[in-house]
Each structure stands twice: as C-alpha cells, then as structure tokens.
Amino acid sequence: MHASIESKRVEIVALCERLGVVRLDVFGSATTDAFDEVLSDADFVVEFMDGPAFDRFDVYFSLREGLADMLGRPVDLVTRLSVKNPYFRERMEQTQELVYAA
C-alpha cells in the first residue's frame, strides 16, 4: 500500500467504523510501484453490512467523498458484489491489500 494511504489509515479506519463498513481494501496502482503521487487515483473495494435499515446509497457516497477528501485525490470505489467482469475481479484480487476489517 502506498505511503500516502498508509499515513491516513487511522482516519480511514475511523471513517469505516462510523459508516458501518465491514471491509475495505485498496487495490490497483496504489499497491504497486506504478502509483504516481501526483496523477494516480486511489482504487478501493468495499463490503457493507446488511440490514433493512442500512442506507447503502448514502454510505457509499459518504465513504467515497470522505476518502477523496482525506487522500486529496480522486477515489474509485467499487463494491465487491458489483464486480462481475472476471478479468477485472482477478486483477483486483491479485493486488488488493486490507485497509480495514470490522
């Protein structure tokens, strides 16, 4: 995981706990030497809790915006269940690193 993300881990964990995130992983260039400190976005995959009172829409956008604000860069956020493309899923799984787990 790139140092710019690792340095914000405490804040990211607090955000995940506040929003009811079950698991958050970073993947893609932010886990490799290809990460460009100036140009790269940060890619995350998230798992949310289940339940009828859980507002996935609101939590998704709150998490994405919160991460972008913390990191000072664009954030791409996907939910694990939404990834249907097997090639994308394989690449994601090959590079993902745990950031938070409830």
Domain boundaries, the chain: 3-101
**Is residue 91 a contact partner of residue 31, using CB atoms and an 8 Å limit?**
no
- The one-letter amino acid code at 65 reads E
pLDDT digits (tens, 9 = 90+) for 31-85: 998 999 889 999 999 998 876 667 888 999 999 999 999 999 999 999 988 999 9
* Position 30 confidence tier, pLDDT thresholds 50, 70, 90: very high
Distance between CA atoms of residues 100 and 93, nearest Å: 16
Does the pLDDT of residue 25 top 90, yes or no?
yes
State phi, psi for 82 to the nearest 5 degrees.
-85, -15
Query: Considering the domain 3-101 in this protein, what is its CATH number?
Result: 3.30.460.10
Rg (CA), the chain: 13
pLDDT of residue 12: 98
Closest by CA position to 42, among listed 32, 51, 56? 32
pLDDT of residue 52: 67
Is pTM, for the whole model, over 0.85? yes
Give 62's contacts (C-beta < 8 A, 6+ positions apart). Answer: 19
